[in-house]
Structure 1
C-alpha cells in the first residue's frame, strides 16, 4: 500500500513540477513579448533608435513627414505650424495641437504631449533637440525624403508603423503608375539642358542632382547643368548660384522656385535673374523658357503629390507630350 502511495505521490510531484515548469516558461516569455513591441531602426542621420512597433502618440515636426504619415494611415498628437499641406491632410490635422514651425519647434509643448515617438528631419535644427528629448526618454527619428525613391520607402515604413501596410501599398502603387506614364512619355526625346534656381531675391542657389527637384528632372530625362558644377561634393542638394557658369552652359530652360508664397517675391525673383546682364543673352531667356514652379510642390518635397510635381515639369520639358 505504501508503495502504491509513493508511486502516486511521485506522479503528482512530476505533474506539479511540469505545471510549475509551464508557469515558468510562460513568465519567461512575457519579457520577450514586451521586447517585440519595440525594435531598432536606423534613421536618415545614421542613428540607431529603439522605437515602438505601433506608436500611439506620434508628434511630427515637419510638413513632408506629416503628409506621408497620414497617407500611410497614421495619426499624430502634435504637428508643425504650417500651411504647406494637401487639403485632405490639412482638414485631418485641424484639431491636432501645433508645436511650432519646423525649424524652431517648442520643446516644452512637445514633451507635454507625452509622445512615444517623434518624427523630425535630418537637419541641424532638429539635431539640437536630441539631448533634451533623449533625457526625457522620447525616441526621435530624423527622417529625410531627398528623392523620389525615398517617398516610396518612407510610405512603406510609415504603413508598418501605423499597422496599415495595405493603405501605404495602395498609395505607392498609384504614385508608381503615374511615374511610369510620365517616364515612358519622355523616352527617346531630345534631353533639354535645364537649371533650377531656388531661393529669394537676397539669396540664390542651384539645385544639384542630389536635391529632390534635381532628382525629378534627371528622372524625366533632362540634363541638369548644375549637376556638373559641384562634383567635388556631390552630397550637397543646393549650391550657390554662379551666374557666369550658367551663362557658359547656356541652358534651354530655367526653372525658378521662390521660397516665399508672395507673388510679388516670385515676380521680383524672375525679373532680377532674367534682367541680369550675364543672362540677357541666354537661350532660355531669349526663347521665353523661364518658368516659375509652384511653391507648395517644389520648396519642400511634395510627398504623395510627386506625380503632380512631375507632371508640371514634364509639361514644360515636353510640351507636345503634355498636349496629348
Structure 2
C-alpha cells in the first residue's frame, strides 16, 4: 500500500484495532507477537467482497478464488452488500480487518469511497487486492484487471459496429454510475466511436446499477426515448442479460442489436433465439482464481506489488505486476452461436 503514512485513516485504524485487542501482522514482520496471532498477513484467509451478492458474474469469480485457495492451501469467504452502492462495501472491509483476514479481494463500487476502510485494513497487516473494478491506486496493493481497458472498449465498439452496418444510433446501458471499470470503458468507447465510426451516434448512456429489474426498465426506456435506436452496448453481465430479456419479447427483437459483456450461461438462450448474435467477456472464474493467487503471494510475502514482481498463478502460469500495481488477466473473448455451448459459467 502506497503512502499510507500520509493518511490519518491508517492511524485511526491502528487505534481501533488496538482497542479491540486484535493482532495485526504485516508482511514485513513474520515473527508476530507469539501465540497463534490471528490470521492478519496469513494467506490462509482471504475475504472476497464483490460489488454485490447474488450476481452470477461474481458467483463465478468467487468459485475461481475458492479453487485457487484449495490449490495453495488457503480459504476464501465471500461477503458483500445486496446492492452495489458506493459505500456499501465499507462495513465488510472493516469486519475483515477486525477478524484478521490475510487479504481482502474487492471489486470496488466506487474508486474512492472505500479507500479509508482499505487503508485501515492495510495498517492492520491485511493485503488489499482489487479485481474487476479498481480503486484509486494508492488504496490497494494490486489490481487484477480482467483485460486491458482499451481492448475491452474497442471490442465492444467493433461488435456493435459490425451488427448495425457501422451507422445509426446506439446507446449504452451501464452498471453503477460510479463504477470505475464501466466509466473507463465508456470513455474509451466514446473516443473510439468519434474517431473511427463517424456514422454511429451515441445518443444516450443510462445506468441499471447492476440490478436486473432496473436494467430491464432502462432498456424499455431507451427504446421509448429513441425510436430510431439501432443498437445497445451493455458492458455489464446483469445489464446485457436484462436487456436481452426485454428485447426477446418486444417488437425490437431482430431490429435493435445488443452486445456487450455477458456470461455464456445467461446469454445462451438469447443467442439461440436470435435476440443476440455476439457478445464478449473473459472467464470470471479465471479472474477470481488469479486474484486469489495474487492475494496469496502478497500475504505470504512472496511479492510486494511492485512493478516487475512475478508470481505463479497455478494453471494460468506466471504473471508479472505492471505499472501502478496492475496485473492483466488477458484479452476479451467473443461468444456466438458456434462456441457458446463450450462454456458453462
Q: For the pair shown, which has the larger CA radius of gyration, 1 or 2?
A: 1
- Same topology, TM > 0.5: no
TM-score bracket, normalised by the shorter chain, equals 0.3 to 0.5
| TM-score, normalisation: structure 1 | 0.39
